[in-house]
Amino acid sequence: MTGAALSLGFYFPANGKEIEIIKTESAENLGIELNAWISIDASGKVTITNHRAEMGQGSFQSVPQIVAEELEVNLNEVNIIFAQGNREKYGSQITGGSSTIRGSYKKLLHLSATAREMLIEAAAGKWNANKSECYAENGMVVHKPSGKKLSYGELVADASKLTPPKQVELKNPKYYKIIRKPLPRQDTPLKTNGTAVFGIDKKLPGMMYAVVERSPRFEGKVKSFDDSETKKVQGVTHVFKTQRLVFGHLYEGVAVVANSTWAAMQGRKVLKVEWDDSGFDHHSTGQLYEKMKDQLQKGNLISYKTQGSFPDAFQKAEKKLEALYETPYESHSCMEPLNCIADVKEDSCEIWGPMQGPDWIQSVAAEALKLPPSKIKVNMTFLGGGFGRKAFTDYPYEAVMISKEIKAPVQVVWTREDDMTGGPFRPGMVYQCKGGVSGGRIAAFETRMAGQNMDVQNPGADRSTYNSDVVEGFLEPYFKSIPHYTFGDSPLESVIPVMWWRSVYSSTNGFALESFIDELALAADKDPLSFRRQHLNNPRYQDLIDKLEAVSNWKAREKNSGWGVAITECFGSIVGEVVKVSKNAEGKLKIEKVWAVMDCGWYVNPNIIAAQVEGSIVMALGAATKHATHFADGKAVEKNFDAYKMPRIADIPEIEVHVMDNEEKAGGVGEPGLPPFTPALTNAIFDLTGKRIRVLPFDMNEL
């Protein structure tokens, strides 16, 4: 920015309870980068600094819609730019947990309304009029009695000198003109005409390119390497051992640097590396699941959440059920493979790339280079998918180390095979569920989860603690309606790195928990949706069930088709889904339709919500029926999409999405639509065929 500008921002205090308004006169007067979230320059142009990543979830549209509504500007007049990584300025910048809107919408509304009121006050001062006689509209302040108008650009100089009001009145949602409207996304034209810059598109003058031969067994060490043939490849300039930091472990590899990605890849093909794979287990998939089941049988359980006396209630129940559910390891498989650019100088470093956690990367790079965080610039680009993988810091760390070695900017590119075999992965899980039914209700409920705990992979982590996420996805009212329950986990130890995958533990918990609820409904001889209704004595959940029942026409479902339902909640949102299946003329199973009802509380753009729910369902369909990552002798088996199959267009059913209208706190949107799909699907298959599916993935063509 140059010249006078009204710049408003907020930061996140340690207690997270208050908003600090920061006001400045102009960037050139201060000589520093502004901590500005909203800036209006002398031409009236509004610029928003987006502190979170845009990886397809829609923040590039949703954040401007919030600002434009309270600021009273045309959405086309709002420009959005990425912030650099800086926790001190922007607070947490992690794009995950469906947190972008729910974590900042109130602050953005107040900030925008504050700017609007300051502009109105500035106009009233120019006209020597009462502020109550003025109002803002379409980037202008209007004087009602005279009809006089001043543009925001004409007012910013005066407005920037005012003290921000401590209290501002926000609009009643019924008067929204921009929020809640299905407006087209601002990043769509950029992504269709090729002007959007993703990490892999970014180029720097003098930049080199690198690929890395990494140990296929995760913690393997480089024993030796022969680069004689590699150095004969035209364009190859450097070959050396390098490292990346993965949960406190330094994973080793050999970097091949060249003047093009192609040359680096060709050089890697003829590189010979001997690995030291001693000192750790070389697990195969069968061994991993045997260990999980064995732990559950031994009762090696860390209890997390209990109420009443499950053993006594289970013993006395009229009907008793037990079931074992299995979910697979999964790759993130983002459309844009991992990549990162680093330019390390003697006393500074600058990084560019697709990343979900620029502030984390700033901290990791600063520690690795022994530099203060202020000397590390982290620049976000668009992401071609993230799903949690690009919140990890290992690939930027690797780029930083390679740039430091060659003393030049470098772009490190992961091939699809690197991306799918290197991890971290979604952890595979086994669930042991027990339940008792008496009087048509759940009398006792127990779930034990066995699998790798994402939170205890760093050296020295306390592995004796429980995994509280064992209840993630479970509906809150169940804890009041079920008199006796217990939840616990039995952590699996393995060198396979695991981490967040879209909807995190809910993606696996949801399948086990909502499948078992369905089995209990059958034992109670109750309609599955009615059974859930009687246990969810809360108006918000009842309203969602009413909506789900109405849109799917649940009570009038046909006899020659299968119908399944599931309801889960995570990241502050509740989602119910109904799946209808049938068999075609050849006797093959077909998904006819999916109805989804999303209750995310306060929301911005229904089209973005629908798109995220649709995407979640497609991703869940793949994980349920198409793909999984297997391990053999300590190595990931599936290396590309020929083996790690993805759903095709022909596999996708009609999806109908409905958004609940209420004034509850904003919840997440990008992830909560995934967990209920798989149990709704398998419950529908049982309804049609009588076959209960407890192990994922399964083949639709074999049922």
pLDDT confidence of residue 6: 57
> Where is pLDDT greater, at 666 or 491?
666
pLDDT confidence of residue 462: 84
Residue 417 host element (H or E): helix 416-421
Nearest alpha-carbon partner for 326 in 512, 491, 503, 516: 512
Q: 40-51 pLDDT, tens per residue?
A: 887 888 888 888
Beta bridge partners of residue 695, listed in sequence order: 326
Cβ–Cβ under 8 Å, residues 519 and 321? yes
pLDDT confidence of residue 465: 78
Mean pLDDT, residues 630-651: 97
Beta bridge partners of residue 380, listed in sequence order: 353
Q: Which two tokens stand for residue 609?
A: 């919500």
**What domains appear along the chain, each with residue ranges and CATH number?**
6-193 (3.30.365.10), 202-279+338-413 (3.30.365.10), 301-330+426-702 (3.30.365.10)
pLDDT at 23 over 50: no
Q: 79-97 pLDDT, tens per residue?
A: 888 889 988 777 788 888 8
pLDDT confidence of residue 345: 97
Q: 609-621 pLDDT, tens per residue?
A: 999 999 999 999 9
What's the one-letter identity of residue 277? D
Mean pLDDT, residues 166-173: 93
**CA dist., res. 438 & res. 447, Å (int):** 18
Sign of CA dihedral 526, 529, 532, 536: negative
Where in 13-156 does DSSP place strands (E)? 22-24, 38-40, 46-50, 78-82, 134-137, 140-143, 149-151
Q: 275-291 pLDDT, tens per residue?
A: 999 999 999 999 999 99
Question: Residue 132, class by beta-carbon neighbours within 10 Å (0-12 exposed, 13-18 middle, 19+ buried)?
Answer: exposed
pLDDT at 31 over 50: no
> Where is pLDDT greater, at 5 or 444?
444
**CA dist., res. 354 & res. 129, Å (int):** 50
Q: 200-217 pLDDT, tens per residue?
A: 999 999 999 999 999 999
- Helices and strands in the chain: count of H runs, count of E runs: 18, 28
301 pLDDT band, cuts 50/70/90, is confident
pLDDT at 454 over 80: yes
> Where is pLDDT greater, at 10 or 75?
75
pLDDT at 263 over 60: yes
pLDDT confidence of residue 9: 54
pLDDT confidence of residue 41: 80
Where in 319-361 does DSSP place strands (E)? 319-327, 339-344, 349-353
Q: 386-397 pLDDT, tens per residue?
A: 999 999 999 999
pLDDT confidence of residue 243: 97
Separation in Å, CA 328 to CA 285, 517, 566, 625: 9, 21, 20, 11
CA gyration radius for the chain? 27
The backbone torsions φ and ψ at residue 353, rounded to the nearest 5 degrees and listed phi first, read 165, 175
pLDDT confidence of residue 7: 58
Q: Which of 54-58, 84-88, 308-312, 635-639 has the lowest mean pLDDT?
A: 84-88
